[in-house]
Protein backbone atom coordinates (compact mmCIF):
# COMPACT_ATOMS: atom_id res chain seq x y z
CA UNK A 1 0.00 0.00 0.00
CA UNK A 2 1.42 3.41 -0.96
CA UNK A 3 0.42 6.70 0.64
CA UNK A 4 0.80 9.96 -1.27
CA UNK A 5 2.40 12.76 0.73
CA UNK A 6 0.42 15.99 0.77
CA UNK A 7 1.47 19.40 2.05
CA UNK A 8 -0.83 20.68 4.78
CA UNK A 9 -1.52 24.29 5.84
CA UNK A 10 0.80 25.57 8.54
CA UNK A 11 -2.17 26.63 10.65
CA UNK A 12 -3.53 23.09 10.87
CA UNK A 13 -2.98 21.56 14.30
CA UNK A 14 -1.37 18.16 14.72
CA UNK A 15 -4.65 16.79 16.06
CA UNK A 16 -6.53 18.00 12.97
CA UNK A 17 -3.91 16.49 10.70
CA UNK A 18 -4.13 13.16 12.50
CA UNK A 19 -7.90 13.19 12.09
CA UNK A 20 -7.61 13.84 8.35
CA UNK A 21 -4.94 11.21 7.86
CA UNK A 22 -7.10 8.61 9.54
CA UNK A 23 -6.14 5.81 11.91
CA UNK A 24 -2.64 4.42 11.96
CA UNK A 25 -2.18 1.63 9.40
CA UNK A 26 -0.96 -0.80 12.06
CA UNK A 27 -4.12 -0.19 14.07
CA UNK A 28 -6.34 -0.65 11.00
CA UNK A 29 -4.64 -3.96 10.19
CA UNK A 30 -4.85 -5.05 13.84
CA UNK A 31 -8.60 -4.43 14.03
CA UNK A 32 -9.19 -6.11 10.65
CA UNK A 33 -7.08 -9.12 11.69
CA UNK A 34 -8.95 -9.52 14.98
CA UNK A 35 -12.28 -9.50 13.13
CA UNK A 36 -11.29 -12.07 10.48
CA UNK A 37 -13.17 -15.36 10.27
CA UNK A 38 -11.21 -17.78 8.11
CA UNK A 39 -12.26 -21.15 6.70
CA UNK A 40 -10.94 -24.16 8.58
CA UNK A 41 -7.38 -24.95 7.56
CA UNK A 42 -6.24 -21.35 7.11
CA UNK A 43 -4.46 -18.85 9.33
CA UNK A 44 -3.72 -15.13 9.13
CA UNK A 45 -0.70 -13.14 10.26
CA UNK A 46 0.28 -9.46 10.17
CA UNK A 47 3.73 -9.27 8.58
CA UNK A 48 5.46 -6.05 7.52
CA UNK A 49 2.34 -3.97 7.01
CA UNK A 50 0.11 -6.62 5.42
CA UNK A 51 -2.25 -9.39 6.49
CA UNK A 52 -1.03 -12.67 5.01
CA UNK A 53 -3.33 -15.68 4.82
CA UNK A 54 -1.85 -19.15 4.36
CA UNK A 55 -3.03 -22.75 4.62
CA UNK A 56 -2.01 -24.98 7.49
CA UNK A 57 1.03 -27.16 6.97
CA UNK A 58 1.30 -30.24 4.78
CA UNK A 59 2.35 -33.64 6.18
CA UNK A 60 6.14 -33.42 5.82
CA UNK A 61 6.18 -29.93 7.33
CA UNK A 62 4.08 -31.11 10.28
CA UNK A 63 6.30 -34.12 10.80
CA UNK A 64 9.43 -31.99 11.28
CA UNK A 65 7.59 -29.52 13.50
CA UNK A 66 6.18 -32.24 15.73
CA UNK A 67 9.53 -34.02 16.06
CA UNK A 68 11.04 -30.73 17.16
CA UNK A 69 8.24 -29.93 19.60
CA UNK A 70 8.41 -33.35 21.26
CA UNK A 71 12.20 -33.13 21.57
CA UNK A 72 12.02 -29.62 23.03
CA UNK A 73 9.33 -30.69 25.50
CA UNK A 74 11.63 -33.44 26.76
CA UNK A 75 14.56 -31.03 26.95
CA UNK A 76 12.56 -28.41 28.86
CA UNK A 77 10.88 -30.87 31.23
CA UNK A 78 11.27 -29.73 34.82
CA UNK A 79 11.81 -26.07 33.89
CA UNK A 80 9.34 -23.18 33.82
CA UNK A 81 9.45 -23.10 30.01
CA UNK A 82 7.59 -25.00 27.31
CA UNK A 83 7.42 -25.35 23.54
CA UNK A 84 4.21 -23.81 22.17
CA UNK A 85 2.40 -24.28 18.85
CA UNK A 86 -0.65 -22.72 17.19
CA UNK A 87 -0.44 -19.61 19.38
CA UNK A 88 -0.10 -16.00 18.20
CA UNK A 89 3.05 -14.05 19.03
CA UNK A 90 2.23 -10.33 19.31
CA UNK A 91 4.57 -7.35 18.87
CA UNK A 92 3.41 -3.76 18.35
CA UNK A 93 0.21 -4.62 16.48
CA UNK A 94 1.98 -7.34 14.50
CA UNK A 95 0.81 -10.94 14.85
CA UNK A 96 2.71 -14.06 13.88
CA UNK A 97 1.99 -17.78 14.22
CA UNK A 98 5.37 -19.52 14.34
CA UNK A 99 5.61 -23.25 13.80
CA UNK A 100 6.95 -23.45 17.36
CA UNK A 101 8.33 -21.13 20.02
CA UNK A 102 9.69 -21.27 23.55
CA UNK A 103 8.10 -19.14 26.26
CA UNK A 104 7.08 -19.63 29.89
CA UNK A 105 4.82 -22.65 30.34
CA UNK A 106 2.30 -20.39 32.06
CA UNK A 107 1.56 -17.79 29.40
CA UNK A 108 -1.13 -15.90 31.33
CA UNK A 109 1.27 -13.25 32.71
CA UNK A 110 2.74 -12.61 29.25
CA UNK A 111 -0.47 -12.26 27.25
CA UNK A 112 -1.07 -9.10 25.23
CA UNK A 113 -3.67 -6.53 26.26
CA UNK A 114 -6.33 -7.96 23.91
CA UNK A 115 -5.56 -11.56 24.98
CA UNK A 116 -4.83 -12.49 21.37
CA UNK A 117 -1.52 -14.18 22.06
CA UNK A 118 1.85 -14.11 23.82
CA UNK A 119 3.89 -10.90 23.83
CA UNK A 120 7.12 -11.19 21.86
CA UNK A 121 9.27 -10.03 24.77
CA UNK A 122 8.37 -13.28 26.60
CA UNK A 123 9.56 -15.45 23.68
CA UNK A 124 13.09 -16.90 23.85
CA UNK A 125 13.24 -18.86 20.60
CA UNK A 126 11.13 -19.06 17.45
CA UNK A 127 11.16 -21.90 14.93
CA UNK A 128 9.89 -21.81 11.36
CA UNK A 129 9.83 -24.81 9.02
CA UNK A 130 9.79 -23.58 5.42
CA UNK A 131 6.90 -24.59 3.17
CA UNK A 132 7.10 -25.06 -0.62
CA UNK A 133 6.45 -22.17 -2.97
CA UNK A 134 8.36 -18.91 -3.41
CA UNK A 135 5.86 -16.81 -1.46
CA UNK A 136 6.04 -19.16 1.53
CA UNK A 137 9.82 -19.36 1.34
CA UNK A 138 10.21 -15.59 1.14
CA UNK A 139 7.92 -15.19 4.13
CA UNK A 140 10.10 -17.30 6.45
CA UNK A 141 13.50 -16.52 4.91
CA UNK A 142 13.05 -12.77 4.46
CA UNK A 143 9.95 -11.09 5.91
CA UNK A 144 9.68 -13.04 9.15
CA UNK A 145 13.44 -13.01 9.56
CA UNK A 146 13.28 -9.20 9.60
CA UNK A 147 10.20 -9.09 11.83
CA UNK A 148 11.71 -11.38 14.44
CA UNK A 149 14.87 -9.27 14.49
CA UNK A 150 12.80 -6.09 14.94
CA UNK A 151 11.02 -7.73 17.88
CA UNK A 152 14.31 -8.67 19.51
CA UNK A 153 13.63 -12.41 19.52
CA UNK A 154 16.91 -13.85 20.93
CA UNK A 155 17.08 -16.93 18.68
CA UNK A 156 15.43 -17.71 15.33
CA UNK A 157 15.77 -21.28 14.05
CA UNK A 158 14.92 -21.84 10.37
CA UNK A 159 14.55 -25.41 9.09
CA UNK A 160 14.47 -25.35 5.31
CA UNK A 161 13.80 -28.40 3.13
CA UNK A 162 14.16 -26.19 0.03
CA UNK A 163 17.59 -24.67 0.71
CA UNK A 164 19.91 -26.86 -1.39
CA UNK A 165 19.67 -30.41 -0.04
CA UNK A 166 18.08 -29.12 3.14
CA UNK A 167 19.61 -26.68 5.62
CA UNK A 168 19.22 -25.40 9.15
CA UNK A 169 20.01 -21.73 9.82
CA UNK A 170 20.43 -20.30 13.30
CA UNK A 171 20.01 -16.53 13.74
CA UNK A 172 21.21 -14.96 17.00
CA UNK A 173 22.03 -11.47 18.22
CA UNK A 174 19.01 -9.56 16.90
CA UNK A 175 19.56 -5.94 15.82
CA UNK A 176 16.05 -4.44 15.96
CA UNK A 177 17.06 -1.06 14.52
CA UNK A 178 18.47 -2.76 11.41
CA UNK A 179 15.95 -5.62 11.18
CA UNK A 180 18.92 -7.97 10.99
CA UNK A 181 21.05 -10.35 13.04
CA UNK A 182 24.61 -10.26 14.37
CA UNK A 183 25.27 -13.97 13.88
CA UNK A 184 23.93 -16.27 11.16
CA UNK A 185 25.03 -19.90 11.18
CA UNK A 186 23.84 -22.18 8.35
CA UNK A 187 24.56 -25.91 8.07
CA UNK A 188 23.26 -28.62 5.69
CA UNK A 189 20.98 -31.36 6.92
CA UNK A 190 23.08 -34.05 8.56
CA UNK A 191 25.20 -31.51 10.48
CA UNK A 192 24.16 -30.81 14.05
CA UNK A 193 23.30 -27.32 15.30
CA UNK A 194 23.32 -26.47 19.02
CA UNK A 195 21.15 -23.72 20.51
CA UNK A 196 23.66 -21.35 22.17
CA UNK A 197 21.53 -19.47 24.70
CA UNK A 198 18.26 -19.23 26.58
CA UNK A 199 16.08 -22.00 28.06
CA UNK A 200 16.99 -24.33 25.16
CA UNK A 201 20.74 -23.76 25.51
CA UNK A 202 22.51 -27.01 24.59
CA UNK A 203 19.56 -28.42 22.62
CA UNK A 204 20.81 -30.12 19.46
CA UNK A 205 19.02 -30.05 16.10
CA UNK A 206 20.14 -32.94 13.94
CA UNK A 207 18.92 -35.71 11.65
CA UNK A 208 16.55 -36.98 14.31
CA UNK A 209 14.50 -33.85 13.68
CA UNK A 210 15.21 -32.77 10.10
CA UNK A 211 15.86 -36.16 8.53
CA UNK A 212 19.01 -36.75 6.41
CA UNK A 213 20.43 -34.53 3.69
CA UNK A 214 18.25 -34.63 0.59
CA UNK A 215 19.64 -36.51 -2.42
CB neighbourhood size of 129 (10 A): 23
Indicate whether 127 belongs to any domain.
Answer: yes
**pTM of the predicted model as reported, rounded to 2 decimal places:** 0.88
- The CATH number linked to 128 is 3.90.1570.10
Indicate whether 2 belongs to any domain.
Answer: no
Contact assessment for residue 121 and residue 152, using Cβ atoms and an 8 Å cutoff? yes
Say how far apart CA 209 and CA 153 lie, in whole Å.
22
Indicate whether 141 belongs to any domain.
Answer: yes
Indicate whether 25 belongs to any domain.
Answer: no
Indicate whether 185 belongs to any domain.
Answer: yes
**Per-position pLDDT tens, the chain of length 215:** 333 333 333 333 433 334 434 569 999 999 999 999 999 999 999 999 999 999 987 788 889 999 999 999 999 999 999 999 999 999 999 999 999 999 999 999 999 999 999 999 999 999 999 999 999 999 999 999 999 999 999 999 999 999 999 999 999 999 999 999 999 999 999 999 999 999 999 999 999 999 998 87
Q: How many domains would you assign to the chain?
A: 1
Indicate whether 23 belongs to any domain.
Answer: no
Indicate whether 9 belongs to any domain.
Answer: no
Burial class of 66 by CB neighbour count within 10 A (0 to 12, 13 to 18, 19+): middle
Indicate whether 36 belongs to any domain.
Answer: no
- Residue 170 is part of which domain span? 57-210
Amino acid sequence: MTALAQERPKTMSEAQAESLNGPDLDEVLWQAWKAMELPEGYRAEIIEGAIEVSPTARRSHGQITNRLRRALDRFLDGTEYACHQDVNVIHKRKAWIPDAFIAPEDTEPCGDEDDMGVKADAVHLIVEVVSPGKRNQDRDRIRKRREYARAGIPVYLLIDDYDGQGAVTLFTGPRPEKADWEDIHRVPYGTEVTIPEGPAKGFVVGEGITGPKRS
